[in-house]
Amino acid sequence: MYKDIEKVYYTQEALAAIVKRLGKEISEDYRDKKLLLVSILKGSVVFMADLMREITVPCEIDFMCVSSYGNSTENSNSTVRIIKDLDCDIQGRDILLVEDILDSGRTLSHVINVLKTRNPRSIRICTLLDKPERRVVDLKADYHGTDVPDEFVVGYGLDYAEKYRNLPYIGVLKKEIYSDI
């Protein structure tokens, strides 16, 4: 275990089982549809890479980079910024937003509102982790990996100040690492 991690919540093996289950559910639901997986960068890239390999129906991928945290541990009330937009036209497509963690819901709500103006056939959400007790926007994932307690978690793509994304598990970051902010 990495020295800055207080405890491990989900091991590499547990994450693989979650991703396999989600891939099966998505494959069943998106048979005969024009599936476009949209990774919300940077946090979901590891999850999406594993997830798309578990999906057994044809799909395409694209990426959006959206910022609302910066180097903070809290989602700010400021405007969500789209840093990198989609490269493809989504009109008539079935969009599955792939997110690492659904927390307040502000970021995904903003992304969904932007994408709806582009006339997709459908927009659904797949999140690896969910913190429902932190939700401030009425938003629920269509595909839900697992709940995570209201602690600051990193690893498997999730970061703090761009660090810890490469950890193969999800763990709780020690408070002394981020408490001075």
Residues acting as catalytic residues: 103
User: What contacts 172, CB < 8 A, 6 or more positions away?
Assistant: 5, 6, 7, 9, 151, 152, 153
Q: Extract the tokens encoding 49.
A: 């890479």
Residue 118 CB partners (closer than 8 Å, separation 6+): 89, 90, 91
What is the DSSP pairing of strand 59-67 with strand 153-154? unpaired
Q: How far apart are CA 83 and CA 142, in angstroms?
A: 25
Torsion on CA atoms 98, 79, 160, 63, rounded to nearest 10: 30
Q: Please answer whether residues 171 and 154 qualify as being in contact, where contact means their C-beta atoms are separated by less than 8 angstroms.
A: yes
C-alpha dist (Å) from residue 160 to 5, 30, 83, 93, 115:
12, 34, 18, 33, 27
Q: Could you give the angle at the alpha carbon of 94 between the alpha carbons of 92 and 130, nearest 5°?
A: 145
